[in-house]
């Protein structure tokens, strides 16, 4: 992979981490836990919560020790897997590489919270009528967007070459 491309992918991943951590620090420093500021009436608020569990609060009721071990192992495993996928993608696969870089940045952003706080800071709170989407953060957004584009990319990937043939 070319140095320029690696630098751009590193910028995506590190930029995601920095933006995520700055946003979370701003929320923690300026809001009280569970405080909510309405931004768009009946649709969007900034609400400071902490999520000790996984996505949507899964494992939140498990012991802190179990959660820390579980998230440490799964995070390290995911980071290794994503790195392997990144380096195995074709050199001209910009969308795949960009998607992996966004997922990596988001994963590291949430991992930093878990290591520092034992839980993840969430604050983006969307709702409509009686439906309330679980609050999330910048890192979660990067992971979701990265996964979405990666799945689309792999689902619609065209084989440029025909089936592999053996040569004698």
Summarize pLDDT for 87-130 with one digit per residue, the tens: 888 888 889 999 999 999 999 999 999 889 988 999 999 999 88
Higher pLDDT among residues 160 and 155, named by residue: 155
Out of 20, 113, 125, 140, pick the active-site residue.
140
Domain ranges of the chain: 33-52+119-137, 63-115
Q: Is 93 a catalytic residue?
A: no
Q: Is 113 a catalytic residue?
A: no
Summarize pLDDT for 38-81 with one digit per residue, the tens: 999 999 999 999 988 766 566 666 777 777 788 778 888 988 99
Q: For the chain, give the secondary structure using H, E and C.
A: CCHHHHHHHHHHHHHHHHHHHHHHHHHHHHCCCCCEEEEECCCEEEEEEEECCCHHHCCCCCCHHHHHHHHHHHHHHHHHHHHHHHHHCCCCCHHHHHHHHHHHHHHHHHHHHHHHHCCEEEEEEEEECCEECCCECHHHHHHHHHHHHHHHHHHCCCCCCCCCCCCC
Band (2; pLDDT cuts 50, 70, 90): confident
């Amino acid at each position: 992979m070319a140095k320029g491309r690696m630098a751009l992918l590193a910028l995506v991943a590190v930029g995601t981490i920095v933006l995520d951590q700055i946003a979370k620090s701003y929320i923690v420093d300026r809001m009280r836990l569970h405080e909510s500021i309405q931004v768009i009436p009946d649709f969007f608020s900034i609400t400071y919560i902490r999520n000790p569990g996984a996505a949507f609060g899964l494992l939140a009721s498990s012991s802190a020790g179990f959660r820390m071990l579980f998230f440490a192992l799964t995070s390290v495993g995911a980071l290794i897997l994503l790195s392997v996928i990144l380096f195995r993608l074709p050199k001209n696969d910009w969308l795949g590489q960009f998607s992996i870089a966004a997922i990596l940045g988001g994963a590291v952003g949430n991992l930093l919270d878990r290591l520092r706080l034992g839980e993840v800071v969430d604050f983006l709170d969307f709702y409509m009528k009686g439906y309330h989407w679980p609050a999330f953060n910048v890192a979660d957004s990067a992971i979701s967007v990265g996964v979405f584009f990666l799945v689309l990319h792999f689902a619609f990937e065209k084989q440029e070459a025909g089936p592999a043939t053996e040569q004698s």
